[in-house]
Chains A and B, each alone.
Chain A
Amino acid sequence: MQQQRAPSPTIFLPDLCGVRALFAVVMVSELLVFVLMLTRTGFTMSALSELALLSLYVQFIALSAAAALCMSRPGLSRLPETWAVLLSYGFILAMVSGVCELAWWVLNPALGDGALINLSHRDFFWRTLGISAIAAALILRYFYVQFHWQQQTAAEARARLQALQARIRPHFFFNCMNTIASLTRSDPVSAERAVEDLADLFRASLSDDRDLVTLAEEFELVRHYLRIEALRLGPRLQVEWRVAEVPLTAMIPQLTLQPLLENAIYHGIEPLASGGIIILEGRVHGADIEFVIRNPFSTGLQQHAGNRVAQENVRLRLAAHFGARGRLTPAVTGGEYLVSVWLPLQRES
């Protein structure tokens, strides 16, 4: 089932028609007015009326620019981002020029020459445009950075969720719940143990995967997992362990082997009506350990995306712990699918 999500904004500009955004525009413009007033030399009684007039002027400019961006936002959101940025900057400067000219030709004569503006027309125009250009650039930059920061936060949250789903496959989880529901009637003791096994598996899945655990612990977890699968699949699932060679005190990132066995069962055993055998083999090559997991493979079956997700997850964690010495390579030979995992042999300190 596809979940309905609120559409996420696709443009860096916030909705400037909203009350909150408009309030922010008014506040920021007023702060700019104060900055401009503070640069004046000397305070006289006329400063108050100057403040009022300057506020009027700056608010006029800011609100017109906000209105222009508000109206053009739907159109801009369809453009590539660079164009949207350049165009919104252009709109702001166009509005500024318009208001500036309006102030010069309408407001200034009405108040009497020199009462408001004691600058030449050219001076007045360029100063207004200059200040506005700097302020607008700062504000747009702020919107831009803010937007991308939010986008990134959302993307990270999605990635975390995907990583979690890669570790706990819903198919496994719900089938397991069904098995437990069934056992609760017929075999409460097995049901109890299945709940305990599942709890251990979940605890491991939710724990911090920066930790290394001993091979003994990882094997224990794998056994719990296989016990659950054995309940579902019965005699269809056979697992052969050939791990006598590897020392149980060797360190391994938690949940390295379990997801690969889960893949082997999901793709190798479940599609076969008569089941099959999975072989888990551990070998020591000098200073490295290699694990090979084999499962039956029939050509008619496609490898699903889920397989890749789990493998990729294990591969990334191996690389994060051991750099180039941690590797994962899948291969198909004859009727077998096999995954080989290499990691350096590190003993518990």
Chain B
Amino acid sequence: MASKLLIVDDEPLARARLRAQLAELAADAVIGEASTGLQALELVQAWHPDIVLLDIRMPGMDGLETARHLLRLPHPPAIIFTTAFNEHALAAFETQAIDYLLKPVRLERLQSALTRARLFTSAQLRELAGDRAEPVARTHFSALSKGSLRLVHVQDVRYLQADQGYVTVNFATGELLIQESLRALEEEFREAFVRIHRNTLVAVAYVLGLERDGVGNCSVQLDGLVEKLPISRRLLSDVRRRLRANAAGAD
């Protein structure tokens, strides 16, 4: 059976070895290569491989996060993780991947992983994505728009606002709608965001200052944003404490 396979690894020699092994196992397969997570996301959308062999430790976006974005696609590829050392990846793997290979990969193991991968349907693959809190914060938000995946770097995001089951991700050049719970996002991005309202998290790095109007309502002014976002009274002291801690940490 002819199939399209994508190898994602930042080390050229690691890719070369997998390519040689795949050529041995599936002579009629078409093999592509990517050296970063972002490149893999682009290639998967342009080229639609059936199976992606994904290294976990990579610069920029790591393999676990890449997999998470890939699984949002309407027809996600089957993902097989490869890694040299299984430090903390195991838990994440169990929910996202078809299989998990330790490098140097044995030919027999690779074959059984490929066989397993071909048994999965795309519906089953999407189910693997599941919505849950991540052990490690992502570097990007992603959403499908017109069939393709849009990515926004977390550092570019000014605020997150929940509205009717969706969360709006606001950044300098636009907005993104993602289908995640604000509570899970708050948990995942604890480091960079603070809750100012029942439905809003703001990026601490973008906060210019707090303002109080005539009737005692407080709002926050964000860098590059004309409108001010209201702070709920209940959370005001938390927000203040957080901004102070952040200012102290920056010095």
Is A346 an interface position by the 8 A CB rule? no
Is B240 an interface position by the 8 A CB rule? no
Give complex CA distance A183, B90 in Å.
Answer: 28
Residue of A182, A183, A231, A233 contacting most chain B CB atoms (<10 Å): A182
Give complex CA distance A182, B104 in Å.
Answer: 9
CB-CB under 8 A for A178 and B17, given A234-B12, A270-B59 = yes
Main secondary structure of the interface of A (DSSP, over half): helix
Q: Is the CB of B57 within 8 A of A232?
A: no
Give complex CA distance A87, B228 in Å.
Answer: 67
Contact with A along B101-120 (1 / 0, CB 8 A): 01111000000000000000
Is A181 an interface position by the 8 A CB rule? yes
Q: Is the CB of B10 within 8 A of A182?
A: no
Interface residues of B in 55-102 (CB under 8 A from A): 57, 59-60, 84-87, 90, 102
Q: Is the CB of A182 within 8 A of B16?
A: yes
| B-side interface size class | 20 to 34
Q: Is the CB of B90 within 8 A of A1?
A: yes
Stretch from A137-145, A167-175, A337-345 at the B interface: A167-175
Is A74 an interface position by the 8 A CB rule? no
Is A316 an interface position by the 8 A CB rule? no
Q: Is the CB of B103 within 8 A of A178?
A: yes
Cβ distance A232 to chain B, nearest Cβ, rounded Å: 5
Q: Is the CB of A179 within 8 A of B35?
A: no
Q: Is the CB of A179 within 8 A of B13?
A: yes
Q: Is the CB of A181 within 8 A of B59?
A: no
Interface residues of A in 175-190 (CB under 8 A from B): 175, 177-179, 181-183, 185-186
Cβ distance A344 to chain B, nearest Cβ, rounded Å: 36
Give complex CA distance A178, B7 in Å.
Answer: 15
Residue of B35, B57, B139, B155 contacting most chain A CB atoms (<10 Å): B57
Give complex CA distance A56, B87 in Å.
Answer: 60
Give complex CA distance A300, B139 in Å.
Answer: 10
Partner of B14 from the list A173, A179, A272, A273 (CB cut-off 8 Å) is: A179
- Lowest 8 CB-CB distances: which A-B pairs, in order? A182-B17, A174-B84, A181-B104, A178-B103, A182-B13, A273-B59, A178-B104, A175-B84
Apart from A170-B85, A177-B104, A300-B139: 15 A-B pairs, beta carbons within 8 A: A1-B86, A171-B57, A171-B84, A171-B85, A175-B11, A178-B14, A178-B104, A179-B11, A179-B13, A181-B104, A182-B16, A182-B17, A186-B16, A272-B59, A273-B60
Q: B residues near A, CB below 8 A? A: 10-14, 16-17, 20, 35-36, 57, 59-60, 84-87, 90, 102-105, 139, 155
Could you list 20 examples of A-B contacts with CB < 8 Å? A171-B57, A171-B85, A174-B102, A174-B103, A175-B14, A177-B103, A177-B104, A178-B11, A178-B17, A178-B103, A178-B104, A181-B17, A182-B20, A183-B13, A232-B14, A234-B11, A270-B10, A270-B59, A271-B59, A273-B10
